[in-house]
Amino acid sequence: MMEEKIVRGITGFAVLLIFIMPYAAFAENELDALNKLMKNITEKRSTPEQLSDFEEKVIDNYGHAVPPATIRKVIREFTPGEALAIVVCMRVAEKTDEEIIAMKKSGMGCDKIAESLGVGLEKVLKRIKAFRKMGC
């Protein structure tokens, strides 16, 4: 009887791991993908002209939901990749723009910001990829 409980406990734990491990790996892959994408976006905006073009495209795409002055401020304070992720969070979150900027300035990563806003890293990553597909 005791052996049966031990076997059931081990089996239950193994089944639990089978379902949890892929989720943990997927979350890590999303973070890696976001970091890689932000780095790529930043590297392709190295000149003032490229940065200005990037700013215009972000305002064109998100200016209806995030004030253009806020977008400009974020682009000047952070790298282009980080700025885009922050603007996306502003677009889909219910926090004020200043609260989100303060989170980033405090050292929070985009993954933690998305999580604390209840937005989800997957949604942020999806919107950034869509922005990139539009030629931005």
- The pTM of the full predicted model, rounded to 2 decimals, is 0.73
- The pLDDT, as a whole number, for residue 73 is 95
From residue 7, give the alpha-carbon distance in Å to each of 16, 80, 85, 86: 14, 53, 47, 48
With respect to residue 109, please indicate whether it lies within any of the assigned structural domains: yes
pLDDT, tens digit (0-9, with 9 covering 90-100), for 102-120 = 999 999 988 888 888 888 8
Confidence band, pLDDT 50/70/90 cuts, at residue 25: very low
With respect to residue 97, please indicate whether it lies within any of the assigned structural domains: yes
Does pLDDT of 14 surpass 80?
Answer: no
Give the other-Cβ count within 10 Å of 58's Cβ.
23
With respect to residue 85, please indicate whether it lies within any of the assigned structural domains: yes
* Average pLDDT of the segment spanning 95-102: 88
- The pLDDT, as a whole number, for residue 26 is 47
With respect to residue 84, please indicate whether it lies within any of the assigned structural domains: yes
Closest CA to 110 of 74, 86, 76, 84: 86
With respect to residue 28, please indicate whether it lies within any of the assigned structural domains: yes
- Cα–Cα distance between 125 and 37 in angstroms, integer? 9
pLDDT, tens digit (0-9, with 9 covering 90-100), for 27-40 = 458 889 989 999 99
With respect to residue 57, please indicate whether it lies within any of the assigned structural domains: yes
Q: Is the dihedral of CA 67, 55, 100, 89 positive or negative?
A: positive
Q: Is the dihedral of CA 76, 82, 87, 93 positive or negative?
A: negative
Domain of 75 in residue numbering reads as: 9-134
Number of domains in the chain: 1
CB-based contacts of 72: which residues, under 8 Å, 6+ apart? Answer: 55, 59
Q: What percentage of the chain exceeds 70 in pLDDT? A: 79
With respect to residue 86, please indicate whether it lies within any of the assigned structural domains: yes
With respect to residue 1, please indicate whether it lies within any of the assigned structural domains: no
